[in-house]
Amino acid sequence: MKPAELLDVLEPTAARLYDRHMGVAKEWFPHEYVPWGRGRDFDPERPWTSEDADFGDGGWTLPEAVRASLFVNLLTEDNLPYYTRDISTIFGGDSAYGAWARNWTAEEGRHSIAIRDYLTVTRALDPVALERARMQQVRGAQVPAPDDLFEALAYLSLQELATRIAHRNTGKLIGDQAGQDVMLRVGNDENLHYLFYRDLAAAALEADPSNMMIGIERAVRNFAMPGTGIPNFNELAKQIASAGIYDFKIHHEQILEPVVLRHWKVKDVSGMSSEGEKAREALLARIDKINRVAARLSREPETV
């Protein structure tokens, strides 16, 4: 089935999932989550230091790995224009797909507002370094680029869930209730986005099992969090993994197993071509390898 044909087949499902989303998504306002009372003017002549951070208790120091995660999480949200561009290119701007993409964009934009306002008020990160990194990130226009609709459906499902997990786990380690509330609120939105893509991908797998299996295999093989282009991203990712915010073990146990193996039930899919069968074989082998690597790294945390 060609991508355009699959989009036509899936459009009623996309419309139903969009209606479901709008029925459960809750309106919220970033300004209500930010502890504005901690705010004060910045002095351009005085460089930021980690001692400037104000988490309300006067004694809490934010671990560097949590700073790294907040830095990556916010810059990831800042690259929104290019995600919207790619999603619109893949799905088109008409019918339920266009309605979903526009609403998704609006909700994602709210995430960067809430996180940035919280980080600015609490001075958790160097605002100059953060703004310079944002400029570099957005100027670079680098985002993960699935090859086609089939891979995109799988990738978006996995990525949205991974983002939810990263936001929530970061929030748990902030040590400040206001920060935890911001990251939990953002994570709740990401979970709803995940459910939309997960269920749309499940419908695609039923409609075109061979091409979707090939797409799922590519998405798992090439999976990367949308941090491409962030300055020093690889080192930041290592810090994030070392803190247990997002690592191979989480990727296997909370992404691949529940979504690919249990929800999409790739082992049970039937009616595939020989190419689809080969893709499933490669997919299951890769998931098994990721599990083994995760087990090894969990025994050697210093190498993560």
pLDDT at 269 over 60: yes
Highest mean pLDDT among 92-96, 139-143, 201-205, 240-244: 201-205
What's residue 60's pLDDT? 67
Region 8-21: mean pLDDT is 98
Region 270-286: mean pLDDT is 97
> What letter would DSSP give residue 61?
-
CA distance 293 to 302: 14
Residue 243 corresponds to which amino acid? A
Report percent pLDDT > 90 for the chain: 84
CA distance 239 to 180: 20
Which residue shows structure tokens 């086609």?
A: 148
Class of domain 20-32+60-303: mainly alpha
Grade residue 7 by pLDDT with cuts at 50, 70 and 90: very high
Region 29-40: mean pLDDT is 95
pLDDT at 10 over 70: yes
Alpha-carbon Rg for the chain, nearest whole angstrom, is 20
C-alpha to C-alpha distances, 235 to 64, 219, 223, 291, nearest whole angstrom: 12, 23, 18, 22
CA distance 190 to 196: 10
What's residue 57's pLDDT? 65
Residue 178 corresponds to which amino acid? A
Token representation of residue 117: 């306002």
Residues 181-226 pLDDT 10s: 999 999 999 999 999 999 999 999 999 999 999 999 999 999 987 7
pLDDT at 228 over 80: no
Grade residue 58 by pLDDT with cuts at 50, 70 and 90: low
CA distance 272 to 278: 10
Residues 123-181 pLDDT 10s: 999 999 999 999 999 998 888 888 899 999 999 999 999 999 999 999 999 989 999 99
Say which residues have a Cβ less than 8 Å from residue 115's Cβ, sequence separation at least 6: 70, 73, 74, 77, 182, 183, 186
What's residue 304's pLDDT? 32
E strands within the chain? Answer: none
What's residue 55's pLDDT? 78
